[in-house]
Structure 1
């Protein structure tokens, strides 16, 4: 834990971490209450709820790459502060509009879309600013701690809703989200940051957004290892999201006579497991991010495969632990690899490309799972999906070994 203590004495990192804690708490609270308010405004319409849910993913598909291109060009601190300030005002507008009877489904939908668009700009800056504030030797521990903070939020905030409702009416949970987001902005304002001065070679990238996106895709084309990691995670999310958020609740109720409370326990267990895994990896002295990424994919796939082939509650709990360890491992490793291997002036664009792929995968997965459930049993989908993710991990290991041997061969040839 000594490494974490050293990080927490770094003023800028401490401010970034505190800002991240409050922002993620605000957005988690907003997402939870958005579902409740949508159901109330639409008399529990599944269609309207589905559209509202996609309002938190579709804008990222459209604006994500654009936001990443601008993140590399603009002042990252200013983008985060302005974007999160606007999001805070939008959160506050919800109880204000409700107080004057002007809040309806379509107004709420526009607010949700706008908050997501601001995130398209602020989120790439958050990851891209870290290498400019910390040395490379601290990035692994920093990302592990930040990921643990985020995962902790997904455990604590949902669990605290019942307690919060004793002090706030449901509509004023949005007011609380505003206060949390405003606090995040206050911490971000205190970060001491000067934009990174890129070398002459790095600044040759053309300044237009179109060319920024084109350069990002060209960079990925020339770096197959990074492309594999981004594509592998996107495919895994495509497989997992629909299975976990739609298939598993149906599986629990229809096959095992369990209810939504059990699903809550399972989700909480995954969050705790991911939290502990991120912290443990952060202080690990022997850490190869490529190996950890592949192992994480393998554990993730194995967990889904176990749920499909051995549908009993003890096995599902064990599988949940494996999935939590796997997702935390591959997620942290992906971030570390990108921050180590991608040039500073490309980080925002590459992170946005990755995020856009992930949001697209989320949206498609949720839209496709109901149709797939009409063609295959849930057990078959879990088994098949788990097998595919497991294969991604195995292919990653083979690809990494081939890539490593190729570099050795090239170095031997040059030295000869």
Structure 2
């Protein structure tokens, strides 16, 4: 199945460009946190850097989705990548001029993520345009597999860069990946449907309101967004900040260990992605909830056993649940949302994710001052599992009631 998909030139360039770009994003994401902590030595300011990576989606995320539905997608993606290259490379230049500051890092992080508000939903909407519906589970799986596969390289690259050149050259590599992404996108052959719309500021907001009303009336999409918000809230701080801070308390090589854990996580995600399409051709909300429940189990494991070796095991458990949930979410959006609303659907989903991220980082950044990291991890995992079980029980009960009604009605 994967061989047939890979032979398609459009899909191949799409996957290579997206996967390479993701590798750079993973490295620069770690570098922003590493440099923030190195420059300030502050847990609060390090959390603030993580917030700077989520806040733009709250401001521009929904507008990015409207833009993705309105503008020529290929041209928009190329322009956005070309802007990101000099922006990210400026950090390297200022570092060697000894002018790099925490505030500048904060600004660049904010700008890079702001561009992502427009790039990511546009990039997501391209995939349904170059695939048939029956291919999407396989292509989504291969996309995530390739992305994670390149991300598995991040521990080796990060350890090598940290030991040889320092975290600053994570940004150099990120700039190169944007260049590769630009080339791959330029090779895509996309037949875009010309849309005639009133592209005014007023129309932007009415377009957002139109999608919000549609999503509210679609039960499956509404539930998907709700459970995604809850799960991400309890996961974000644990994975992005809590794990790094816990490692820093246990070892002097916390940055290297954090990078290796990311690699283990990516490796298990790859195996899960390869196996999943062999058994599941279509995804449902119930499958999504099973994935979030396994995800929560991994976080509970962090808190219960709280140690470096156990962080590797917990990450592996999370790496089984997260792709099940992630692929289910993408499939449901691609299958249930009309093409002319898909950009807004992915941006709306991203806004919820980043809104949840921002609240999570803010709340946990406050809680960590008087609650231990171990307890925060444990209770976060428990709450994810509880919400997943409630969702599954409610879904099963609704299905039984529906079947009972149909049987009684037919008698």
2:16 matches 1:18: yes
**Which of 395, 398, 412 is 2:393 aligned to?**
398
Do the aligned residues in 2 keep the contact of 1:19 with 1:185 (CA within 8 Å)?
yes
Residues 94-105 of structure 1 aligned to structure 2 (within 5 Å)? 94-97=91-94, 103-105=100-102
Distance in 1 between residues matched to 2:199 and 2:114, nearest whole Å: 25
Indicate which of 258, 273, 276 corresponds to 1:278.
273
Q: Which moved more, 1:390-399 or 1:263-272?
A: 263-272
- After TM superposition, the structure 1 stretch with the greater mean CA deviation from structure 2, 289-298 or 27-36, is 27-36
Q: Rate the CA distance shift 1:307–1:34 in 2: closer, same or farther, 3 A.
A: closer
Is the contact made by 1:23 and 1:184 (CA closer than 8 Å) also made in structure 2? yes
CA shift digits 1:77-122 (9 cap, x unpaired):
2221111111112123333455666654444433222211111001
> Counterparts of 1:39-54 in structure 2 under 5 Å?
39=37, 42-54=39-51
Name which of structure 1's ranges 69-78 and 380-389 shifts more when overlaid on structure 2.
380-389
Aligned partners of 1:241 and 1:362 also within 8 Å: yes
Within the alignment, does 1:58 sit opposite 2:55 as a pair? Answer: yes
The number of residue pairs the alignment matches comes to 409
Q: Does 1:83 align with 2:80?
A: yes
Deviations 1:241-284 (A, max 9, x none): 22334444565677x88973655554433222112111211333
Corresponding position of 2:238 = 243
**Separation in structure 1 between the aligned mates of residue 189 and residue 242 of structure 2, nearest angstrom:** 46
Specify the alignment match of 1:127 in structure 2.
124
1:108-160 deviation line (CA, Å, top 9, x unaligned): 43322221111100100111111111000011111111112222233212321
1-structure distance, mates of 2:166, 2:81? 24
Q: Higher mean Cα deviation, 122-131 or 149-158?
A: 149-158
Deviates more, 1:16-25 or 1:175-184: 175-184
State the partner residue of 1:300: 295
Output the TM-score relative to the length of structure 2.
0.86
Structure 1: gaps (5+ residues): none
CA distance in 2, matches of 1:216, 1:350: 8
SS in structure 1 opposite 2:12?
helix
2-side partners of 1:23 and 1:79: how far apart? 16
Report the counterpart of residue 26 of structure 2 in structure 1.
Answer: 28
What's the RMSD between the two structures over aligned residues? 3.4
Match of 1:157 in 2: 154
Change (3 A) 1:24 1:411: same
Segments of structure 2 that go 5 or more residues without pairing to the other structure are none
Q: Compute the TM-score of the two structures, normalised by the length of structure 1.
A: 0.85
Aligned twin of 1:186: 183
Question: Are 1:292 and 1:333, in contact at CA under 8 Å, matched by a contact in 2?
Answer: yes
| Contact 1:29/1:173 (8 A) holds in 2 | yes
Q: CA deviation at 1:161?
A: 2.5
C-alpha spacing 1:315/1:166, structure 2 compared with 1 (3 Å)? closer
